[in-house]
Amino acid sequence: MNLAAYLEVFRNRRVGAVLVFGFASGLPLALTSGTLQAWMAVDGVDIRTIGIFSLVGLPYTVKFLWSPLMDRFVPPLLGRRRGWIALTQIALMLGIAAMGALAPRHAPIALAAMALMVALASASQDIVVDAYRTDVLRERERGVGAAVSVLGYRVAMLVSGALALILSDRIGWQHTYWLMAALMTIGMAATLFGPEPDRTVAPPRTLREAVWGPLGDFFSRRGALALLALIVLYKLGDAFAGTLTTAFLIRGAGFSATDVGTINKGFGLVATIVGALWGGAWMVKLGLFRSLLLFGVLQALSNLGFMLLAAAGKSYPLMIFAVGFENLTGGMGTAAFVAFLMALCTQRFSATQYALLSALAAIGRVFVGPPSGVVVEAVGWVSFFFLTFVTALPGIALLLWLRREVAALEHNAKDG
């Protein structure tokens, strides 16, 4: 099979819908975080209030709490997945437009309430979009689906982040938010015309089954606890290094903020997208296990690029290499990892299972952040990045130990 045949998997309605849903998922995030903070700062809101507004992002962290409702209940139109997506997108369009009609300095409480509603609708959309992607993609399309979802998400964050800030200087904040609300119609188009999964399964019969069924189903499989450990460990080294990358480039290596913004943020974003797309295409040939292994090893090795930069000192060629290699391999690893999470889900409970598994994956990132600064002060930047490389090795070792279980996921997709 040649490369053209591998890339053919990109060209179908299922992958196209997943791409657009990735955009719809990424668009609201900055509007309740970074872009909203910029608007408040420009409008003269005090820094304490701006800090408190960060709490509106809480629904993204605890979205698994109401995910069983989206497995159990079926809206009257468009089915269990697209029906819920449509409802959340309507709420997002109205909520984002309402945010634009408020002024941070004059109506901070109303704006906070509306931002919280938007975050709640956005987190709910994420639950069902993840479930839809899990249900609709065939086994060999999962890597590609993960890749195009990352692409759509990142493009949307640029639109609602960088582009929105630029537009605010030209058309004002109100019209910028109204334009962002109008852009949600792109997601609505995918909702109306997106395909249904090949297999239709019955939803949980009761809310009790929707809550406990996903857990019972997952823990009934062989190696369940080890698979959960793998979810936590697979990208732990990558996350450990990423907690202080920006601080290292500025304070440790001596690069300017412009250097970091251009290379680490701009070039790094492009490398991440390329890595995700490249990794998704490779997965068609390699399969799930070999992709996880190869991309996991490359992810671990990428941390050594920053170790070399820390040892060499300020070097633009080394910085470009380290940033490019880290983001490229991180994108590849993300494509494989998301495909792995999808493969672990049963279609009947995919909303709840994916929400729980993705929350579990975030645990490692939460715990490696606080001690990272202490480690740097104790051992220095060179040893810190070597430790991040070592931190990635247990996940690779566990993956090798679970080879049979992971390989079986490629051929045993369950329909519940």
DSSP string for residues in 320-378: HHHHHHHHHHHHHHHHHHHHHHHHH--GGGHHHHHHHHHHHHHHHHHHHHHHHHHHHHH
Instruction: Report yes or no on 414 lying in a domain.
Output: no
Domain boundary among 170, 193, 216: 193
Q: What is the pLDDT of residue 1?
A: 43
Whether 415 maps to a domain, the answer reads no
Specify if 275 maps to a domain.
yes
Same domain, 82 and 225: no
Instruction: Give the per-residue pLDDT at 143.
Output: 81
Of 193, 220, 235, the domain-final residue? 193
Q: Give the model's pLDDT for residue 43.
A: 77
How much is the pLDDT for 197?
A: 82
Spell out, as residue ranges, where the chain has pLDDT lower than 50. Answer: 1, 413-416
Last residue of a domain, one of 169, 193, 217: 193
Does a structural domain hold residue 198?
no
User: b or e along 114-136 (b: 16 or more beta carbons within 10 Å of the residue's beta carbon)?
Assistant: bbbbbbbbbbbbbbbbbbbbbbb
Find the farthest-apart pair of alpha carbons in the chain and give their distance in angstroms, rounded.
62
Q: What are phi and psi of 388, to 5 degrees?
A: -65, -35
User: From CA 280, how far away is CA 291, in angstroms rounded?
Assistant: 9
Do 9 and 109 belong to one domain?
A: yes
Structure tokens at 148: 């195009």
Q: Supply the pLDDT for residue 416.
A: 42
For the chain, percent of residues with pLDDT exceeding 90: 26
Same domain assignment for residues 259 and 152:
no
Q: In whole angstroms, what is the distance from residue 322 CA to residue 309 CA?
A: 7
Q: What is the pLDDT of residue 9?
A: 58
**Is the same domain home to 80 and 129?**
yes
> From CA 153, how far away is CA 134, in angstroms rounded?
16
Please count the residues of the chain. 416
pLDDT value at residue 88:
95
**Is 171 part of a structural domain of the chain?**
yes
- pLDDT confidence of residue 4: 57
pLDDT for 300 equals 92
**Count of domains observed in the chain:** 2
Residue 116 and residue 259 in one domain: no
Same domain, 174 and 238: no
Q: Domain of 270?
A: 207-409
For residue 288, the domain's CATH number is 1.20.1250.20
